[in-house]
């Protein structure tokens, strides 16, 4: 099984500034994927960024980047040049790779509510 | 592609009533799953399926049934609704082959049980 912990229930940042959301996880799997999902008030789950655990290079998607520290089991999300539209709940999630009963399932953290203010 | 669709978007039930939440995907994904989202709890897995005819329990399966007769559809049944089942329900699908493992989510169903 895997557990995902997000220790910041709420965060706020001023528009155009940079903010980092924290996530730690625990797993016994050798290979897995890590994700950040965004959930705006529309409640649609939107994939923001993903990281394969066996890749050391940190993933980047435009203004979003991650700091993946495998030994520390840490997977933080950095949002640069924050925009009002980034206001949302952000979920960190992990997914084991391979066969077996855990195949395919996502393990979610409890979420961090990010508010971007003008 | 419509992606993952869910119906209804909103539903109010009385305690003891039964209903089925519908989920369909048109991406030929083998893997489908149901999550529930409660405030402060993140998303928790209810049931999942790795292909037609194969289902299994997730983290919080009690009070829910599923079946998978086709690749496209994965309905979730509430047999006798309880107030504790008030939640937002998400259906998701993905391929089970190697890759980046992205799951595609439906828009969710907000269920209230009174």
> Which pLDDT tens digit goes with each residue over A19-69?
999 999 998 887 888 999 999 999 999 999 999 888 889 999 999 999 999
Query: A-chain residues within 8 Å CB-CB of B40?
Result: 9, 110-111
Res A99: pLDDT: 60
A43/B33 CB distance under 8 A: no
The shortest CB-CB distance from B48 to any of A33, A45, A105 is to A105
pLDDT band at B97 (very low <50, low <70, confident <90, very high): low
- Write the CB contacts of B95 (distance below 8 Å, at least 6 apart in sequence): B29, B30, B31
Res A76: pLDDT: 98
**Mean confidence (pLDDT) of chain A:** 92
Res B41: pLDDT: 86
Whether residue B8 is preceded by a cis peptide bond, meaning omega within 30 degrees of 0, is: yes
CA distance A83 to chain B (A): 23
Searching chain B, which residue's CA lies closest to the CA of residue A8?
A: B40
Question: Taking Cα atoms as reference points, which of A17, A8, A25 lies closest to residue A89?
Answer: A8
Q: Which segment, A1-10, A52-61, B75-84, is predicted with the most confidence on average?
A: B75-84
Query: B-chain residues within 8 Å CB-CB of A42?
Result: 107
pLDDT for residue B99 is more than 60: no
B108/A43 CB distance under 8 A: yes
B48/A104 CB distance under 8 A: yes
More confident residue, B1 or B45: B45
B41/A110 CB distance under 8 A: yes
Residue-wise pLDDT tens digits, A58-111:
999 999 999 999 999 999 999 999 999 999 999 999 988 766 555 678 899 999
Kindly state the average pLDDT of the residues B7-27. 96
| Contact between A2 and A105 (Cβ < 8 Å) | no
Kindly state the average pLDDT of the residues A10-26. 97
Kindly state the average pLDDT of the residues B6-12. 96
CA–CA separation, B2 and B22 (whole Å): 14
The CA-atom distances, in angstroms, between A5 and each of A69, B37, B109 are 15, 16, 25
**Mean confidence (pLDDT) of chain B:** 92
């Amino acid at each position: 099984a895997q557990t995902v912990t997000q220790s910041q229930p709420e965060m706020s940042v001023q528009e155009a500034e940079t903010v980092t959301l924290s996530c730690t996880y625990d797993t016994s799997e050798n290979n897995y994927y890590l994700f950040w999902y965004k959930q705006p008030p529309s409640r649609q789950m939107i994939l923001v960024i993903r990281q394969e655990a066996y890749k050391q290079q940190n993933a980047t998607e435009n203004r979003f980047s991650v700091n993946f520290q495998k030994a520390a089991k840490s997977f933080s999300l950095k949002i640069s040049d924050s925009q009002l539209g980034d206001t949302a709940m952000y979920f960190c999630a992990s997914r084991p790779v391979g066969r077996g009963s855990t195949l395919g399932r996502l393990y979610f953290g409890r979420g961090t509510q990010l508010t971007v203010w003008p | 592609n419509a992606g993952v669709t869910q119906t209804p978007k909103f539903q109010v039930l009385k305690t003891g009533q039964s209903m089925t939440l519908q989920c369909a995907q048109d991406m030929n994904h083998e893997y489908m799953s149901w999550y529930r989202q409660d405030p402060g709890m993140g998303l928790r897995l209810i049931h999942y399926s790795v292909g037609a005819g194969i289902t299994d329990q997730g983290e919080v399966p009690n009070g829910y049934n599923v079946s998978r007769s086709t690749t496209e559809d994965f309905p979730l049944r509430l047999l006798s609704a309880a107030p504790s089942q008030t939640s937002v329900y998400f259906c998701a699908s993905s391929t089970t082959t190697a890759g980046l493992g992205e799951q595609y989510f439906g828009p969710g169903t907000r269920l209230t049980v009174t």
